[in-house]
């Protein structure tokens, strides 16, 4: 086989396709690069590692300058790594997604990020942020084993440890109001840190107990558990009165908001412990203690 001609023709075909086809051109590029990666891998076995350098010099002249040595190495790496990945068809993601995952090397980590990209329709920038925050590393070891062995998981498996709260202001957390503001400003990120199925209902959610109006800091809903989640924020250490307060709120939601199809409401308290914000209290075993890291 003339590996160089085969590679050149595929690249030329891809260049033409990308100019005349808007729909599915990214899918075409991913498939083409995977096929070229296989050819480069086979050519290397026949002619040695320096064949990529030789091919790149000619391709840069005949096809385009972007097909340099670094690009060809990346394309071959793409084939080598993803030839054993079985999570989803390769064409479900873009080439830019794969470029973000190429440095990871750990196949279990790659499988995880591929799966959430497809399931949650993550953009390249969203994937980059997840990788940068070390989301996979913050999963419980038990969860990683379930993923590796394709065992059924539950919502709590995907609560990160520590949970990361973004602090774009760089202010010290000196008040419950500021902590709430950080969470609300990055609500989508906060929900993804808690796990799967969480939805935002409201903040300062007004309820009336006896003749007094009270305000729940944050009210969430989980469509997998089919229940409401009352979230209270405290910048002091956890106290007995905090638990009493949230118990009242849980009872109110169960009595006045929860429907017959919903399960019991869950209450969680974020409080300060050893100079860190932690998810220290939870009324239900479906969610459990996690440290909070504010970055």
| Torsion angle (degrees, nearest 10) of CA 239, 242, 248, 249 | -150
What CATH number does the domain containing 181 carry? 3.40.1350
Q: Indicate the residue among 132, 147, 172 that finishes a domain.
A: 132
- Are residues 8 and 128 both part of a single domain? yes
- Domain membership of residue 147 (yes or no) is no
CA distances to 35, 117, 143, 209, 277 from 136, in Å? 29, 13, 10, 42, 21
Tokens of 253: 């939601």
- Are residues 275 and 169 both part of a single domain? yes
- Are residues 171 and 266 both part of a single domain? yes
- Are residues 245 and 180 both part of a single domain? yes
- Are residues 103 and 171 both part of a single domain? no
Strands of 290-294's sheet, edge to edge? 163-165, 290-294, 276-282, 266-273, 227-233, 212-222, 198-209
- Closest C-alpha to 229, from 295, 294, 279: 279
- Are residues 166 and 88 both part of a single domain? no
Which residue matches tokens 């990160």? 160
- Are residues 199 and 105 both part of a single domain? no
- Are residues 184 and 75 both part of a single domain? no
Sign, CA torsion 137/176/274/154: negative
- Are residues 84 and 177 both part of a single domain? no
Query: What pTM was computed for the model?
Result: 0.73
- Are residues 161 and 78 both part of a single domain? no
Angle 187-194/176-185 helices, nearest 10 degrees? 90
- Are residues 47 and 168 both part of a single domain? no
Q: Indicate the residue among 69, 98, 132 that finishes a domain.
A: 132
Tokens of 213: 């109006």
Q: In the prediction, which pLDDT does 200 show?
A: 95
- Domain membership of residue 103 (yes or no) is yes
Q: In the prediction, which pLDDT does 292 show?
A: 54
Which residue matches tokens 């409080």? 271
Q: In the prediction, which pLDDT does 195 show?
A: 82
pLDDT averages per 10-residue partition of the chain, 295 residues: 80 76 74 90 83 88 89 92 71 89 90 88 91 90 86 76 74 76 88 87 93 94 92 88 93 94 91 77 69 55
- Domain membership of residue 146 (yes or no) is no
Strands 163-165 and 290-294: parallel
- Domain membership of residue 67 (yes or no) is yes
Domain that holds residue 104: 3-132
Tokens of 27: 């899918």
Q: Indicate the residue among 63, 98, 132 that finishes a domain.
A: 132
Confirm if 283 and 250 have CB atoms less than 8 A apart.
yes
What are the residues whose beta carbons fall under 8 Å from the beta carbon of 173, sequence distance 6 or more?
167, 179, 182, 235, 277, 294
**Count of structural domains within the chain:** 2
- Domain membership of residue 43 (yes or no) is yes
- Domain membership of residue 151 (yes or no) is no
- Are residues 123 and 181 both part of a single domain? no
Q: In the prediction, which pLDDT does 214 show?
A: 93
**What's the per-residue H, E or C state across the chain?**
CCHHHHHHHHHHHHHHHHHHCCCCHHHHHHHHHHHHHHHHHHHHHHHCCCHHHHHHHHHHHHCCCCCCHHHHHHHHHHHHHHCCCCCCCHHHCCHHHHHHHHHHCCHHHHHHHHHHHHHHCCCHHHHHHHHHCCCCCCCCHHHHHHHHCCCCCCHHHHCCCCEEECCCCCCCCCCHHHHHHHHHHCHHHHHHHHCCCEEEEEEEEEEEECCEEEEEEEEEEECCCCEEEEEEECCCCCCHHHHHHHHHHHHHHHHHCCCCCCCCCEEEEEEEECCEEEEEEECCCCCCCEEEEEC
- Domain membership of residue 232 (yes or no) is yes
- Domain membership of residue 145 (yes or no) is no
- Closest C-alpha to 204, from 234, 180, 236: 180
């Amino acid at each position: 086989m003339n590996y160089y001609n085969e590679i050149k023709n595929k690249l030329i075909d891809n260049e033409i396709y990308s100019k005349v086809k808007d729909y599915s051109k990214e899918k075409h590029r991913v498939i083409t690069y995977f096929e070229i990666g296989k050819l480069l891998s086979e050519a290397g076995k026949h002619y040695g590692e320096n064949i990529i350098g030789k091919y790149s010099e000619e391709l840069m002249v005949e096809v385009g300058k972007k097909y340099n040595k670094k690009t060809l190495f990346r394309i071959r790496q793409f084939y080598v790594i993803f030839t054993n990945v079985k999570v989803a068809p390769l064409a479900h993601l873009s080439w830019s997604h794969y470029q973000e995952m190429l440095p990871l090397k750990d196949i279990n980590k790659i499988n995880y990020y591929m799966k959430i990209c497809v399931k949650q329709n993550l953009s390249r920038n969203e994937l980059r942020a997840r990788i940068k925050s070390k989301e996979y590393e913050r999963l419980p070891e038990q969860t990683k084993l379930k993923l590796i062995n394709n065992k059924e998981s539950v919502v709590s498996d995907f609560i990160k440890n520590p949970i990361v709260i973004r602090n774009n202001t760089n202010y010290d957390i000196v008040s419950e109001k500021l902590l709430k503001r950080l969470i609300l400003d990055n609500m989508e990120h906060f929900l993804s840190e808690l796990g799967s199925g969480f939805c935002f209902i409201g903040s300062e959610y007004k309820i009336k107990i006896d003749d007094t109006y009270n305000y729940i800091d944050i009210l969430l809903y989980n469509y997998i558990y089919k229940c409401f989640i009352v979230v209270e924020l405290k910048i002091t250490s956890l106290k007995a009165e905090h638990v009493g307060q949230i118990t009242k709120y849980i009872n109110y939601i169960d009595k006045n908001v929860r429907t017959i199809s919903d399960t019991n409401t869950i209450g969680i308290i974020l409080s300060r412990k050893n100079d860190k914000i932690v998810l220290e209290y939870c009324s239900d075993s479906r969610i459990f203690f996690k440290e909070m890291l504010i970055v």
